């Protein structure tokens, strides 16, 4: 049975789910990035795209620009949904958020996730490349396109829409560029990392370094892809196959 979510961080919750998969999006993204995943989920596994401030149903809210504040807000907001086993998946920016969320939930005494899935993101100890968050709009857009080819042509052509979207992206990149990993005990949860071999923003070694952050085993999966392959059925199948 589906019930309305008691928190703005989620659309709704199934009372009969045996496991929840919380999905955290890439910079500028929202829960819609994972909308198509729902039809692939096996019975009993509930897809829970996380709704971040500043976009979608929370467009009127200020997006976070500080990782610690975001993770504390998330841990508070998801508390009611942690009443059964869960896994965390993060894409790009979302991977770092998922990792820090797992650490925050551990600090609070919650049961650990069954798995942390990190996609298209280097391990936390690596810093961002040359900062771009404070560039003027045109230079910021050029840098995004050169690195990620992230903004669709139709959005680039609609300046009014782009002006709505850019502050969200800028806030997310500010969050990324300010983030500094604080060393601590590794997670006791298995981590699986995926990356595209044609992703110019990553290297195999930097993704493989996620192994440092778990005592429960790390698995690296390569895909013939660029940075964005979140709609790839093979990725979705890979994730589902690793849920417990």
Task: Tell me how far apart the alpha carbons of residues 73 and 192 are, in angstroms, rounded to a whole number.
Answer: 25
What's the whole-number mean pLDDT along residues 207-213?
Answer: 98
Give the residues across from 219 on adjacent strands.
Answer: 192
Helix (H) or strand (E) holding 4: strand 2-4
Q: Is residue 92 flagged as an active site residue?
A: yes
Q: In 10 A of CB 210, how many CB atoms?
A: 24
15-27 per-position pLDDT tens digit:
889 999 999 999 9
Q: What is the helix (H) or strand (E) element at residue 191, kind and residue range?
A: strand 191-196
Residue 207 makes CB contacts below 8 A (sequence gap 6+) with 121, 122, 123, 193, 195, 220
CATH 3.40.50.1820 for domain 2-128+182-241: yes
What average pLDDT is seen over the chain?
Answer: 94
- All structural domains of the chain with their residue ranges: 2-128+182-241
pLDDT for position 151: 86
In angstroms, rounded to a whole number, what is the distance separating the alpha carbons of residues 78 and 91?
18
How far apart (Å, rounded) are the C-alpha atoms in residues 161 and 206?
A: 35
Burial class of residue 221 in the structure, from the number of CB atoms within 10 Å of its CB (0-12 exposed, 13-18 middle, 19+ buried): middle
The residue from 36, 92, 188, 203 that is catalytic is 92
Lowest mean pLDDT among 1-5, 111-115, 118-122: 1-5
**pLDDT at residue 102, as a whole number:** 98
Give the pLDDT band of residue 2 (cuts 50, 70, 90). Answer: low
- Is the model's pLDDT at 218 over the cut of 70? yes
> What is the model's pLDDT at position 15?
82
**Among candidate residues 19, 13, 11, the one with its CA nearest the CA of residue 50:** 11
pLDDT tens per residue across span 152-190: 888 888 888 888 889 999 999 999 999 999 999 999 999
Average pLDDT for residues 199-211, to the nearest whole number?
96
């Amino acid at each position: 049975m589906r019930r309305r979510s008691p928190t703005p961080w989620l659309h709704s919750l199934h009372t009969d789910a045996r496991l929840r998969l919380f999905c955290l999006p890439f910079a500028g993204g929202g829960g819609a990035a994972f909308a198509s995943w729902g039809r692939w989920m096996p019975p009993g596994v509930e897809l829970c795209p996380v709704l971040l401030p500043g976009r979608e149903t929370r467009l009127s809210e200020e997006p976070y620009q500080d990782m610690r504040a975001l993770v504390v807000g998330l841990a508070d907001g998801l508390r009611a949904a942690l009443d059964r086993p869960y896994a965390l998946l993060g894409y790009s920016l979302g991977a770092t958020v998922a990792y820090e969320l797992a650490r925050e939930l551990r600090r609070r005494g919650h049961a650990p996730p069954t798995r942390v899935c990190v996609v298209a993101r280097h391990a936390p100890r690596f810093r961002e490349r040359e900062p771009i968050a404070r560039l003027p709009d045109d230079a910021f857009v050029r840098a995004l396109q050169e690195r990620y080819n992230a903004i669709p042509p139709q959005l680039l052509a609609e300046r009014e829409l782009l002006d709505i979207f850019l502050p969200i992206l800028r806030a997310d990149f500010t969050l990324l560029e300010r983030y500094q990993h604080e060393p601590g005990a590794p997670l006791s949860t298995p981590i699986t990392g995926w990356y595209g071999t044609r992703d110019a923003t990553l290297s195999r070694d930097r993704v493989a370094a996620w192994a440092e952050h778990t005592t429960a085993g790390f698995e690296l999966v390569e895909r013939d892809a660029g940075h964005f392959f979140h709609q790839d059925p093979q990725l979705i199948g890979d994730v589902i196959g690793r849920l417990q």
